[in-house]
A and B are shown apart, each in its own frame.
Chain A
Amino acid sequence: MKRPLNSKYYIVILLCVCLAGCGLTQAQKTGISAFGQATTALGTASKDQLQGSRENIIQMNKQRLAIVKKVSPEKQQDGKPETRDSYTKELDLDSGLKQENIEKRVDAIDLLVKYGNLLVAFSEDTQEKELTTASSQFTDSIKQFPGNPLSAEEITGLGQIVVVAGEMFVDYKKKEALKKIIPTVSPLITKICDALENDFDLNNKGILKLTSIVEDQLANESIDGLKREGGSIGDRLILIDGLDLANQNKLAVETSSPKILKAIDSMRKANDNLTNLIKDDKVAIDDIKSFADNVNSLVKAIKPFMK
C-alpha cells in the first residue's frame, strides 16, 4: 500500500536541495582538475629537466677536460700539496652546480606535484563507493529496527537519499576547504613560478643558462681541437663526439627553455583564474585550459630529449 511521505522525508529532501547549491559546480570541478593535472605535469617535466641538467653538465665537462688534456697542478694555489679533494675540486665537473642545489629544487617541485595531485583528488573523489556501502548498512539497520514503520520501497528511497545527501555534503565540505586552500596557496604558486622562470630563462642566471655556457665551452674546445692537424683516429673521434654532445645539449636547451617559460607563465595566469573560479563559478576557465594546452605541448616537445 502506498503511503504519503512523512515529514522527516521532506526535511531530508529539503536538506539535499539546500546543499545542492552549496557544493562545487561542474565548471569548478573541471577547472580544479585541469589545473591540478597540468601542475603535476609541469612539475614532473621541470624536475626531469633540472635533474638531467646536472648530469649533462658533468658529462660535457668530462669530455671537455679530456679534449683540453687537462693536467692537474702538483700543488694547490696556496702552496699546500694536492689532496684527493683538491684534485676533485680542481676538476669542477659539475661547474659548481651542486647536488644540494638540485635537491632544494626537487623538494619544492615535489610539493608542487603533490598539490596538483591533491587538487585532482578533491575534484574527482566523490566517495561514492564508501557512501553506498555506508548507506546499505544504514538501510539494513532501519529494516531490522523493531516496529519499523517504513515499507521496503521507502527504505530503499531513504538509502538513495542518504547517498545523494552524503555526496552533496562531501561536495559542500570540499568547496569550503578549497575556498580556504586555493587563496592560501596562490601566492606560493606565484613564488615558485618566479623561481622556476629564473632557472629556465636563458637570459637569467639560472640552471639552463649554466648548461648553455658549459655546452658552449665544450663546442669551443672541440672546434679548437678539430682545427689542429694530427692525433689518432680515437683523438679525432673524441673531438667529433664533443661537438656532437654540445650540439645536442644546445638543441635541448633552446627547445625546452621557451616551452617551459610559456608553461610557467600560463600557470601564473591559471593560478589567478583558479582563485577567481573558486570564489565565483561563473568565471570562464580559459587561462586554465590554456595552461593545460601549454603543458601538453611542453611534454611533447621535451620528450625526445629525455633520457
Chain B
Amino acid sequence: MTTYIDTDLANLVKKLSDLRIATPESNPNYSSITEQYREASKEQTEAIDKAIDNADVDYKDFSDCMQPAIDAINKALDDIKQVATAITMVAKVIDVAGKIISKV
C-alpha cells in the first residue's frame, strides 16, 4: 500500500513555507502569505490524518493474521519440548517394569 501524497499540495506547502520565511514581516503580502501557508499546511495535515486512520486497517489485518501464526509457533515449540518429557516417561516405565519383575 503506497498512497503517495498529493504532490501539488505538498509542493505548495513547501513553497509557501520557504516564501514566508524569506519574506520580511514589513512586506505588504506577508500576512496573506502567512494565511495561505497556514491554510495549506492545515489541509495537508488533515489529508495525512485521514490516511493514517485508513492505514490502521492494514496493521489490524496483520495482527489478526499474525496472532494465530504465533500461537501455532508456540504450539510447535511446546511439542518439541515434549521430546525430553517422552524420554523421561520411557525411563519411568522401565523403572516401574523393573520393580514389578524383581518382585515376581
Contact = CB atoms under 8 A, between A and B. Distances in A.
Q: Is the interface of A mostly helix, strand, loop or mixed?
A: helix
A188 B2 contact: no
Nearest to A96: B49
B80 A173 contact: yes
Nearest to B23: A227
Interface string A168-194: 011001100100110011001001101
Contacts of B13: 213, 216
Interface residues of A, number: 70
User: Which of A104, A133, A162, A170 has the most chain B CB atoms inside 10 A of its CB?
Assistant: A104
A302 B55 CA distance: 24
Given A122-B77, A209-B5, A104 B56 contact: yes
A185 B71 CA distance: 12
Contacts of A137: 87-88, 91-92
Given A107-B63, A134-B84, A166-B84, A97 B69 contact: no
A88 interface: no
B34 to A, nearest CB: 7
Interface residues of B, number: 59
Contact of B52 (A122, A188, A207): A207
Given A173-B80, A173-B83, A195-B1, A107 B98 contact: no
A188 B85 contact: no
Contacts of A188: 62, 65-66, 69
A195 B45 contact: no
Contacts of A100: 56
B10 to A, nearest CB: 8
Interface string A113-140: 0110010011001010011011101101
B48 A209 contact: yes
A279 to B, nearest CB: 18
A18 interface: no
A108 B84 contact: no
Contacts of B44: 213
Contacts of A107: 59-60, 63
B4 to A, nearest CB: 6
Contacts of A214: 45
Contacts of B62: 108, 111, 188, 191-192, 195
Nearest to B41: A217
A141 B98 contact: yes
27 contacts: A96-B49, A104-B60, A108-B60, A108-B62, A114-B70, A121-B77, A125-B77, A127-B84, A131-B87, A138-B88, A142-B94, A144-B98, A170-B80, A177-B73, A177-B80, A181-B69, A181-B72, A184-B69, A188-B69, A191-B61, A198-B1, A199-B52, A204-B3, A205-B52, A220-B20, A224-B25, A228-B25
